[in-house]
Structure 1
Amino acid sequence: MSRIGLVFLCAFLILPAFFADAKKTRLTDNPLYGVTTTSPEAFLGYPLGERLLRHDQINYYLKQIASENPRVSIENTGQSHEARQQLTAVITSSENQAKLDEILAQRQQVKYQGEQQGPMVIWLAYSIHGDESSGAHSALKLSHMLATSEEKWVKELLNNAVVLITPTQNPDGFDRFSTWANGYAGKVAVSDPNHKEHKQGWPSGRSNHYLADLNRDWLFLRHPESQGRVALFHRWQPHYVGDFHEMGHNQTYFFQPGVPERTHPLTSKANQKITAKLAAYHQAELDDKKQRYFSRQLFDDFFYGKGSTYPDINGAVGVLFEQASARGQQQDSVNGLVTFQEAIDNQYATSISSLKGALALRSELEEYQADFFKNKHQKAIKKKPRQAGLLLSADNDSGRINALTTLLSQHKIDYYYLTHTLSQGGLDFAVNNSIFIPNKQAQSSLLEAMFDDRTEYIDPTFYDISTWNLQHAFGLTLRRNVKLELSVLSQTPPAFTPVSFSNDAVALLIDWRQSQATLLLQQLLEQDILVKFAAKPFSMQVKNKDLDFVAGTLQIPLKQDGHKASELNKLVAQLANKLKVDVIAVNTSAASSGIDLGSPDFELIKPIKPLLISGKGTSTSEVGQLWYYLDNVLGVATTVVDINQLASIKLSDYSHVLLADGRYQTLDERFARKLGQFASEGGVIIAQKGALHWLEKSNLLKNNLRSDRFYKQLFDAEGLTFDEKSAFKAKQAIGGAILELKLDPSHPINFGLNGDRLPILKNKVIGFSQTNGPFSVAAKYTSKPLLSGYLAQEYQSSFSNSPAIIVESRNKGAVVAIADNLLFRNIWLGSEKVYANALYFIPALN
């Protein structure tokens, strides 16, 4: 028989059996039968990684495969500051896709019932730092593989798990970097680290629109990208979270566990045990590629505001990955050539090992999560009429309490309002500015972490800050383990009483301690309404009662040129009711004690026009925090100027010049003289941290500073072995500790702050000398300044009773010198009023 005849005979014998099997399992039963899912290469028209993608290209690709493939759907978690969509691919079997609502409903019960139902949830999140783009590119490759693969392990995975893939967590920074790197990439790849492709301009793509490091914002949620990300976390309550980053180009590859002694004490050993088991899968995958790596070094697992640690305090297991970065297409390193394509491949490899490891350890991950929430959920409060918890108050300011409750809600932490004023330990907790947070609830672990006050640590080495206690950040009064009856608690917030004013009022008074009073003031100034502030306290009779008004109280006289009293009444009422600011009308200028309303101690507030210095040599994050505060909190049109353009700027056009932390080495004597003249003619310089060194060097700051050299002599390094020097260096660092300041309440820079104590976060070795001079010390560190976190005893003793905030007069103007960043990550709401005072009050008093 011929060869052709033999082939036909075999086909004749085989086909019946094939069709018989097909009747049992039809090809059309496979949801991927006949489906064509576009690959990244086909979508782009060039190989993935040949050039850096933009965020919109990534989003379009996710939408493309979601429209083509039954395994893929899309979650939209909102927009970035620059209105870029934040998309996550939801990849699972078509059967699971058909019942996602049911699966989500099951996930919502995890915290409250402790039961594990439905598929496991794995979340792989990439490129939260926009210039660490290899992760985002590997995410596209992974998405296509999961959507199309028929491998046995992949099908098992998608039948038993939902995989969430978020390629870019920082859309604005991601596009900033890709535009830079692509713009300086030639046809011939340049590996020289000095090439402009590898040397980003200021700011780099690491940060978001307001120059914030979003991988430090998981707890604080100051930015919409973070808010959407945390909402996604709690919507899905994942079992495992992979957090993919890049590090310096001279490194290799890192995956957790991190340094064991630097794991936060609230993270359980069970969590770290699973992390170690998962590491075996990463090792195997990278060993197969002959890729070098390290673990248990350099990186910690401490601060819960990061992507790899936030899951650990929320019932999941988070794992950090760090890939050596090419910061472009390729770059020479001590380990050889680092290429972007290799980085993509490594991130893809550990994405695969994450999926395989999580699948293999599914029962352990589910058991860990069930145990994490076991016995934590607060049962129906009616069944337990007496609850123990935290009682908090923001004295005279409902704004900070509202900001706290918003944050607690985003983290799914239960809280209650008071139905009437309570007294605890000699302090009153009023209805409109106090809340109660039960200890026993599903999110009790996160609650404990957010108000943790420890000052002792096994290893005082921190990759980031050592403390973040929200009591101090928000400037709150706190009582722990207070037991309250159900009758004094409510889930309904107290109603704001709308303000209205009678025609016989002569002035309107606003308590400056209210957070929203700053925004109200700015809006009044923008409408050319005359506003004054009280330089001294006073009392007025209102509705037959004497009311005390603190220094800093705002006065709006109702007799003003160009404004009718009735129109002013109406306008102020509208703004006050919109912003929920209490305003009190008075029908006399006579005080019952203290200064009258017509007193010269009521100072006129002038409109402000601030200039914020930015650019190379300034701290990206702190410039961003000042910008965020001015723009979002005060609502002030802020001119941000690059440091290299200052020579051509007419400073007299501005009321204030703000200098964040930085080195300012490019500023010369000519600009120093120009800035000095600006202050002498009535301008105000507001400077903090490193900027103070330049001011001192330029003779713009009369007080002497203490810096690294002074403080390092306090430490005894004699007799240390080589191995001990690393720990000694960590002891000399100030990673971030909360210290207490003693205020001069009579100083205008402190108006609106409660009492004479102020918690601040210190993270730089800098201070003022204790010598006398032609300046006023507005605040000092207390005799025992450490409130929370780690600070070497040598620093505690040296900072004790030394100045922290100084105001120096300059003829008609002033220099406000601040040793610390009182806006820290825009979460330090308790001290941000200092900047408002420097902007609105200091000019009037010089």
Structure 2
Amino acid sequence: MKKLFSVFILLLSLTLQAQLKSPAEFLPNYGKQVTYYYQLESYFAQLVQNSDYIQHKPYGQTSEGRGLNTYYISTPQNLKDLENIRQNHLYQAGLSDSKPAATSDKAIIWLSFNVHGNEPAAAESAMNVAFELINPDNAATKEWLQNTIVIIDPCLNPDGFSRYGNWLRTVSGKDTHPGLNDREHMEPWPGGRQNHYAYDLNRDWAWQVQPETRQRMLLYNDWMPMVHVDVHEMGYDEPYFFPPPAEPMHDFITQSQKDFHTAIGEMTAKKFDAQGWSYYTREVFDLFYPSYGDTYPTFNGAVGMTYEQGGIGAGRAVQMSNGGILTLQDRITHHTTAVLTAVETTAWQKDKLIKNFRAYFKDSREHPKGKYETYIVKNSGKNEELAKLLTRNKIQFAYANETKKLSGYSYQADKDKDFTLEPNDLIVSANQPKAVLTQVLFEPVQHLSDSLSYDITAWALPHAFGVESYAVKRAIQVSTKKEVSYKGKFEYERVYAYYVPWNGRASARVLSLLHKNKINVRSATKAALYRGIKVSPGDLVILKGDNPNLTEFEQTMNVMLEGKRDFEIIESGFAVSGADLGAESYPLLKAPKVLLLSGSDVSATDFGQAWFYMDEIIDYPVSIVDIQNLKRVEFSEFNTIILADGWYDFSDTEKMQLDTFINNGGKVIAIGSALNIFEDRTGYSLTKFAEETGKVTEKELDDKESLDARFFTTESMLRRGLSGSVSGAIVENVIDASNPLCYGLGSSYFSMKTSSASYQLLKGVQNAIYIPAKYKSFGFIGSNLKKRLENTVTFAVEQKGSGQVIYMVDNPLFRGFWENGNLLFSNALFLVH
């Protein structure tokens, strides 16, 4: 009987092997045409069905309803013990207190493909990598899997991948067209790089603004791999890139992580050398900004790596500058070789990786890498979103439960100060498992070893959230609690009005909900006091007398405000101090009717940030119209137009339509390069130089730079050019607290500056937020630009006719994580009138 059973198992195994198909066997035109996303999922389903070396783990859905999937690949024995292996891995690194059943140590590597949708060779190669790992005829990979758990996410951005692939198939004929003039090399707006909301998901790992990232990071933080490979494509004419990475590298990156980069580079180079494939290392792709698919894992103990294959714009095949033809199959082959080498190196260095991973967390807890050990964020309405961000990243925090005098570095003042810790202040200690990530996100200044950075160079959360914050060099002993304590509501005999503080995203969502339900709302423009309730400019008041049609006013309002726990009830409109509720300092707010322009003249990413803000951050209706259809728009249906950063080429007629819209009471919010529409135009005050002396000074500086450049070497030209640039730095701004654009922002505003554009303080407008002389800044700003930014406006409001133009030199919606910017934009949308 036992013999018959063994024969049966052997036959079953052979049957499964016979059914297991490679991508080329399963998919028509694999390597010749981009795969539909449903086909990719079907391919992995057949792998799972026909092999006991792979398991499927779905982890969510995209905004467009496509599945997000991971696959665990290892030996059948390891997969049966998978949960024990995971728990043991976390426990041994000090990331979990739950001691699992005894099991052997395994190296864990996570492979991420296609975070950018129009880099299809990444997802295509994921299928090939998975097949080779479980292919019964590949003895080498079976040996690797004995001590390795491989987690594959074949497509991080299914919506973008589908947008690109569906377009490419639509425009493709039977023959390939390697020449660049064919339409398959000219991807239309908005392109497939970004997700549904046109966000770049590879900048979202730490911030987790987008649904794909949030869902993925829940699973990632449950596993915390030792190695993470992020698979990309770049311009089609580029050789292949693999580690080691370029400078600047963040100071907190360990020597053991760098050593693995070198090992992987040497191993991969041997494989590419044998094939004669071109490649490079140590250039362009740095490890500094913390929200990439290589840096975020690195700051979480892994060896994070970027792999880049030339291919963007290549379509199915493209002629390169060297005369060669690069095909989709070439790109798949290169990626497959490189990624499998990463798995091989992980298996080979298993013991060292495990040892280094555990040491990483032990060392970071016992010997914090940063200057400060405790971060304190004063109690604010914005802390609710900050707490959510910390929770998503599994960064531990607590709230103060006592009052204590302390001294520390003030983020806002950029110097040491005495301050008082009070109940409900948020406390983050560096003495925790996520110590390194905590310090990366909170350290006031990040050391930049090289100014040639690939991305922004400053991101401190206290500046992003605009909350009074302090960093203390030592651990502090203080009583804490897990949640904020809210004081009870004041007792009242009758409801005269509801009061809602304007102090964060939740306030804007409440106002959005009230407007959508046609409930009249007022906003305070001056401070006042009503029996224990201190009203500040921007705070909302909903008067019962303003809403006579609400027969169940109290019950309705309690439902509307259940997401805003700090609201209060006012029982009399008579003020203890300041103006009564019937005064003109409580104007009635007009519900915005919003038009957002899209299309090829608009930056897809910046458009997406505005769209996501409207759709998801405040949940408010917005009409989106492509610029090419602008002539068909009935402007009287709207009172607010959002112009995201872009290269608008309006005709004179369209500009006149915009002028009429504004003069008749409309509001235009113009961001970044959209300001060019109004610059130096008759009837508007926007000009680069407010006075002739500024223009003369600028010319003198330009002339001096030109003269100095005569002595530059060719090698130094690139770096000299940086003197007039900024890739992304935090800049201090003075605010006009009495201007509605500034309500709730705090005593100052720190802006994320990603452009060298500047305008001297404007005449005839409200310079609501501007960069003062001798301003504070964090991150890299070129030496020439730094001086020119003094006394330049960042956000201004110009009254024109019955309407307004709000000029936004910087984008307050940058990547969605600049929380004080979200509030500033809410001010522009709802409160400026």
Q: Considering the TM-score relative to the shorter chain, is it more than 0.5?
A: yes
Q: Hey, what's the Cα distance between the residues in 1 that align with 2:760 and 2:54?
A: 62
Q: 1:560-582 CA deviation, whole Å, 9 max, x = no partner? A: 354357x21111112222x1342
State whether residues 54 and 175 of structure 1, in contact with CA within 8 Å, keep that contact through their aligned partners in structure 2: yes
> Quick one: which amino acid aligns to residue 233 of structure 1?
Y
Alignment of 1:156 with 2:143, yes or no, is: yes
Corresponding residue number in structure 1 for 2:298: 312
Alignment of 1:38 with 2:29, yes or no, is: no
Q: 1:243-280 CA deviation, whole Å, 9 max, x = no partner? A: 11101112121112122x31112112221121011111
Q: Hey, what's the Cα distance between the residues in 2 that align with 1:229 and 1:479?
A: 32
Corresponding residue number in structure 2 for 1:682: 665
- Cα shift at 1:63: 2.1
**Residues 444 and 838 of structure 1: is their aligned pair in 2 closer, same or farther, counting only changes over 3 Å?**
same
Identical-residue share of aligned pairs (%): 25
State whether residues 758 and 789 of structure 2, in contact with CA within 8 Å, keep that contact through their aligned partners in structure 1: yes
The alignment covers a number of residue pairs equal to 801
State whether residues 198 and 327 of structure 1, in contact with CA within 8 Å, keep that contact through their aligned partners in structure 2: yes
Alignment of 1:769 with 2:750, yes or no, is: no
Corresponding residue number in structure 2 for 1:516: 506
Q: Hey, what's the Cα distance between the residues in 2 that align with 1:444 and 1:455?
A: 15
Question: Which of 218, 224, 230 in structure 2 is aligned with 1:237?
Answer: 224
Q: Hey, what's the Cα distance between the residues in 2 that align with 1:67 and 1:574?
A: 49
Alignment of 1:356 with 2:340, yes or no, is: no
Q: 1:538-588 CA deviation, whole Å, 9 max, x = no partner? A: 22224xxxx4311112111112354357x21111112222x1342222222
Corresponding residue number in structure 2 for 1:371: 359
Q: Hey, what's the Cα distance between the residues in 2 that align with 1:564 and 1:371?
A: 63
Local SS of the residue matching 1:687: strand
Corresponding residue number in structure 1 for 2:234: 247
State whether residues 85 and 105 of structure 2, in contact with CA within 8 Å, keep that contact through their aligned partners in structure 1: yes
Which runs of structure 2 are paired with 1:131-150 in the superposition (5 Å)? Answer: 131-150=118-137
Q: Hey, what's the Cα distance between the residues in 2 that align with 1:417 and 1:493?
A: 6
Corresponding residue number in structure 2 for 1:785: 775
Q: Hey, what's the Cα distance between the residues in 2 that align with 1:258 and 1:75?
A: 31
Corresponding residue number in structure 2 for 1:435: 426
Alignment of 1:285 with 2:271, yes or no, is: yes
Alignment of 1:816 with 2:799, yes or no, is: no
Corresponding residue number in structure 2 for 1:727: 719
Corresponding residue number in structure 1 for 2:796: 806
> Quick one: which amino acid aligns to residue 621 of structure 1?
T
Alignment of 1:745 with 2:737, yes or no, is: yes
**Residues 636 and 612 of structure 1: is their aligned pair in 2 closer, same or farther, counting only changes over 3 Å?**
same
- Cα shift at 1:498: 7.4
Corresponding residue number in structure 1 for 2:602: 618
Which runs of structure 2 are paired with 1:524-539 in the superposition (5 Å)? Answer: 524-539=514-529
**Residues 813 and 557 of structure 1: is their aligned pair in 2 closer, same or farther, counting only changes over 3 Å?**
same
Local SS of the residue matching 1:602: coil
Corresponding residue number in structure 1 for 2:412: none
**Bigger shift: 358-367 or 720-729?**
358-367
Corresponding residue number in structure 2 for 1:91: 73
State whether residues 31 and 94 of structure 1, in contact with CA within 8 Å, keep that contact through their aligned partners in structure 2: no
**Bigger shift: 724-733 or 809-818?**
724-733
Which runs of structure 2 are paired with 1:360-759 in the superposition (5 Å)? Answer: 360-377=348-365, 389-395=374-380, 397=381, 400-424=382-406, 427-432=419-424, 434-454=425-445, 457-481=448-472, 488-490=479-481, 492-496=482-486, 502=492, 504-542=494-532, 547-564=533-550, 567-577=552-562, 579-665=563-649, 667-696=650-679, 698-699=681-682, 701-705=684-688, 715=705, 716-755=708-747, 757-759=748-750
- Cα shift at 1:700: 6.2
Local SS of the residue matching 2:279: coil
Q: Hey, what's the Cα distance between the residues in 1 that align with 2:543 and 2:260?
A: 66
Corresponding residue number in structure 2 for 1:295: 281
Local SS of the residue matching 1:282: helix
Local SS of the residue matching 1:409: helix
Corresponding residue number in structure 2 for 1:61: 43
Local SS of the residue matching 1:318: strand
Q: Hey, what's the Cα distance between the residues in 1 that align with 2:661 and 2:104?
A: 67
Corresponding residue number in structure 1 for 2:832: 842
Local SS of the residue matching 1:106: helix
> Quick one: which amino acid aligns to residue 295 of structure 1?
T
Scaled by the length of structure 2, the TM-score of the pair is: 0.91
The root-mean-square deviation of aligned C-alpha atoms, in Å, is: 2.7
Q: Hey, what's the Cα distance between the residues in 1 that align with 2:800 and 2:536?
A: 27
State whether residues 614 and 642 of structure 1, in contact with CA within 8 Å, keep that contact through their aligned partners in structure 2: yes
Unaligned runs of 5+ in 2: 408-417, 690-694
**Residues 718 and 458 of structure 1: is their aligned pair in 2 closer, same or farther, counting only changes over 3 Å?**
farther
Q: Hey, what's the Cα distance between the residues in 2 that align with 1:699 and 1:206?
A: 39
**Residues 388 and 317 of structure 1: is their aligned pair in 2 closer, same or farther, counting only changes over 3 Å?**
closer
Q: Hey, what's the Cα distance between the residues in 2 that align with 1:483 and 1:279?
A: 39
State whether residues 400 and 478 of structure 2, in contact with CA within 8 Å, keep that contact through their aligned partners in structure 1: no
Q: Hey, what's the Cα distance between the residues in 2 that align with 1:222 and 1:766?
A: 27
Q: Hey, what's the Cα distance between the residues in 2 that align with 1:485 and 1:785?
A: 31
**Residues 561 and 300 of structure 1: is their aligned pair in 2 closer, same or farther, counting only changes over 3 Å?**
closer
> Quick one: which amino acid aligns to residue 157 of structure 1?
W
Local SS of the residue matching 2:455: coil
- Cα shift at 1:366: 2.0
**Residues 295 and 482 of structure 1: is their aligned pair in 2 closer, same or farther, counting only changes over 3 Å?**
closer
State whether residues 724 and 783 of structure 2, in contact with CA within 8 Å, keep that contact through their aligned partners in structure 1: no
Question: Which of 103, 126, 141 in structure 1 is aligned with 2:85?
Answer: 103
State whether residues 509 and 586 of structure 1, in contact with CA within 8 Å, keep that contact through their aligned partners in structure 2: yes
Q: 1:568-627 CA deviation, whole Å, 9 max, x = no partner? A: 1111112222x1342222222222222111112211111111111111121111111111
> Quick one: which amino acid aligns to residue 183 of structure 2?
K
Q: Hey, what's the Cα distance between the residues in 2 that align with 1:653 and 1:67?
A: 55
Alignment of 1:322 with 2:308, yes or no, is: yes
- Cα shift at 1:501: 7.5
Question: Which of 194, 202, 206 in structure 2 is aligned with 1:207?
Answer: 194
> Quick one: which amino acid aligns to residue 352 of structure 2?
E
Scaled by the length of structure 1, the TM-score of the pair is: 0.90
- Cα shift at 1:528: 1.8
Q: Hey, what's the Cα distance between the residues in 1 that align with 2:704 and 2:739?
A: 32
Alignment of 1:82 with 2:67, yes or no, is: no
Local SS of the residue matching 1:112: coil
Question: Which of 232, 235, 260 in structure 2 is aligned with 1:274?
Answer: 260
State whether residues 760 and 791 of structure 2, in contact with CA within 8 Å, keep that contact through their aligned partners in structure 1: no
Local SS of the residue matching 2:232: strand
Question: Which of 313, 330, 334 in structure 2 is aligned with 1:342?
Answer: 330
Local SS of the residue matching 1:768: coil
Local SS of the residue matching 1:783: coil
State whether residues 506 and 588 of structure 1, in contact with CA within 8 Å, keep that contact through their aligned partners in structure 2: yes
State whether residues 132 and 138 of structure 2, in contact with CA within 8 Å, keep that contact through their aligned partners in structure 1: no
- Cα shift at 1:485: 6.2
Q: 1:709-729 CA deviation, whole Å, 9 max, x = no partner? A: 878667553411111112112
> Quick one: which amino acid aligns to residue 827 of structure 1?
F
**Residues 496 and 133 of structure 1: is their aligned pair in 2 closer, same or farther, counting only changes over 3 Å?**
farther
Local SS of the residue matching 1:201: coil
Q: Hey, what's the Cα distance between the residues in 2 that align with 1:482 and 1:304?
A: 22
